[in-house]
Amino acid sequence: MISSETHFPCSTPRQPQGRKYLGGRINPNEIQPNPTVVDLIENTFLAYNAGRIREACHLLACKILIEDVTVGMSLAGALTPAGLGISAIIPLIKAGFVDWIVSTGANLYHDAHFGIGLPLHQGSPFYDDVALHDEGLVRIYDVVFEYDVLLSTDTFFREIISLPEFQRTMSTAEFHHLCGKYIAERERVLGIGTRSILSAAYQADVPVYTSSPGDSSIGMNVAAKAMLGNKLQFDVSADVNETAAIVFDTKRKGGRSAVLIFGGGSPKNFMMQTEPQIQEVLGLEEEGHDYFIQVTDARPDTGGLSGATPAEAVSWGKIDPTQLSDTVVVYSDTTIAMPLMASYALSIVQPRQHSRLFKRRAELMANLRRAAYGEKK
């Protein structure tokens, strides 16, 4: 719950009757040396996309991060190479602010570099890529690392997926939980603390899904081992049903569902399709997600935000139409918005108890199955 000492953002001053369109007066104080992130956002993020970041921070801290809200986070774009896993996502997981995750496989692959002790470096987007190639270096915009980082990470994944416990069909949540266990052990041996999202998620029992498991270096290594007889396969139907079961259980128990969407792509759609899966496919009565925050640089008129702007998502049943006021779209770079939002939330909201949804997957699936098909316990 919100700290009693810093609850001010969650109180909206009443406007005089007939003046409903006049919000808080734009009358900031001068920026002083060493302001806190909360002070900076409250005092200077007053309009345009700074204003949307402020609104997102308020929605996150004042309505989403309370006890009866289940929070899903989607991750797309090269976020982990920039260090956002360590700086922002892991602290949010540790604080109990994230209950389930959908991520690109690429984010989880590059996340693993940190957990197994491999370095990535700051660089420049203006380096000569031919020269980098000649020196055995790889560039992700202004992040640079040795090619051997990829080879060592590939070796790590091939070694663990050769183990007996991986020789079966499983959901991507099960797969990432097992990977997190081995990454956490590597972190322990190296003495580096928790540096991987998968490690943090394993320790907090946060299920992590990948909507396109073959579309990353992790999936490529799984495919390579399959040619040698490895039995690991991903059950994508289990992923679809488990994520729907998480949302359905939350809403049926009187709780609320929130989605934090960083970037777009397949993880965004996979997270949002939980409601159509419940309503359209399974035929269960539901109204949609209650809270929605998206950070994106895409545009709706080119199809880059197709089906996922809040108003458009209402037409799909993805968002409760009565909750449109509790939706925010921030048109910004995630590497800017996420650290600000995380710092704001961690500064004024007390840690929540972990929901440990990974351990509850069988129970949640049984509940969804009974509701949809009337099966007995």
Q: Are 242 and 362 in contact (CB under 8 A)?
A: no
Asked if 199 and 108 count as a contact pair (C-beta separation under 8 A), the reply is: no
Query: Taking a C-beta distance cutoff of 8 angstroms, is the pair 256, 245 a contact?
Result: no
Is residue 105 within 8 Å of 210, Cβ to Cβ?
yes
Q: How far apart are CA 140 and CA 138, in angstroms?
A: 7
Catalytic (active site) residue 318: yes
Spatial separation of the C-alpha atoms in residues 347 and 3, rounded to whole Å: 9
Catalytic residue among 20, 231, 253, 318: 318
Q: Residue 23: enclosing H or E segment and its boundaries?
A: none
Q: What amino acid is encoded at 81 in this protein?
A: P
Residue 196 three-state SS: coil
Give the separation between CA 57 and CA 53, rounded to whole angstroms. Answer: 6
Give dist(CA 360, CA 363) in Å, integer: 5
Residues contacting residue 141 through CB under 8 Å, at least 6 positions apart? 78, 125
Q: Which of 7, 62, 63 is nearest to 255 (CA)?
A: 63
Active site residues: 318
